[in-house]
A = this chain, B = another copy of it.
Amino acid sequence: MTRAVKRTTHQGIREAIRARIISGEWKLGERIPGEVALAEEYGCSRTTVNRALQTLAQEGMVERKRKGGTRVRPLPTSQAQFRIPIMREQVESRGHRYSHRIESREVRVPPMAIRKQLELPDNDPAAYVESLHLADGKPFAFEKRWVNLGSVPAFSDADLSHESANEWLVRHVPFSRGEVRLSASAANAKQARLLGTDKGAPLFTMHRLTWFEERTITAIELSFAPGYEITFGV
């Protein structure tokens, strides 16, 4: 049984207002009463109403403008929190045993596209790691990773036998920001062999590029074994 939320908490008021919007009492694009009016109606302080409305605005249910008041969004925008998948967590949360295996590791000059992404001076080498993420020993995802040694020189000596390249980097460069691209691509020969599928099979693919304070850190391509899905609520 769900515990009812008190009427005069910011959560209670938020849900009450949400219900009134959903019920159609205030229609799409329509202006709803001001904070002062709502505070009086609900018998609470304006601060509390403000918090409720700010949350609804963040969720995309209403739009707020000074002087313009608060309006129901004309076209509701669905949005969701998307958590970047961490391999180990992902596998273990499904009740499987996680492991990973380095397929190859070297230092060399990356192809043009990667040099550009990593903003590498020409002919500067970078670390390259190919690895396989496994669930209960079965291939789960294939990872190609380039690491900018200009930004993270210590990566050359990283011991990747017990933690993945990602885990090592997270410990050494914890707060990086990044850009993510999701796409579908056809398995090449190597991917097909390592992921146990056929050449040309459709693979869900994620590219990531991360920075720490204006310096590029690493560029990753993750190809997931067939059947992989990302799921989230909206």
Interface set of A (CB-CB < 8 Å, partner B): 21-22, 28, 61, 75-84, 86, 170-171, 174-175, 177-186, 200-205, 208, 213, 224, 226, 228-234
A179: B residues at CB distance < 8 A: 231-234
- Do B180 and A232 touch (CB < 8 A)? yes
- Do B77 and A84 touch (CB < 8 A)? yes
Q: Secondary structure of the A side of the interface?
A: strand
- Do A229 and B84 touch (CB < 8 A)? no
20 new A-B contacts, CB < 8 A, other than A77-B83, A80-B84, A181-B230, are A22-B213, A28-B174, A75-B86, A75-B170, A77-B86, A78-B83, A78-B178, A80-B180, A81-B81, A81-B82, A84-B234, A179-B233, A180-B233, A180-B234, A182-B230, A183-B228, A184-B204, A184-B228, A186-B202, A200-B200
- Do B170 and A76 touch (CB < 8 A)? yes
- Do A233 and B84 touch (CB < 8 A)? no
A232 to B61, CA, bound (A): 21
Contact of A79 among B83, B204, B231 (CB under 8 A): B83
A28: B residues at CB distance < 8 A: 171, 174
A32 to chain B, nearest CB (A): 14
A170: B residues at CB distance < 8 A: 75-76
A52 to chain B, nearest CB (A): 15
A230 to B79, CA, bound (A): 14
Task: Identify the closest chain B residue to A60 (Cβ).
Answer: B83
A30 to B28, CA, bound (A): 46
Known A170-B76, A183-B204: A177·B82 in contact at CB below 8 Å: no
Contact of A186 among B180, B201, B208 (CB under 8 A): B201
A178: B residues at CB distance < 8 A: 78, 233-234
A54 to chain B, nearest CB (A): 10
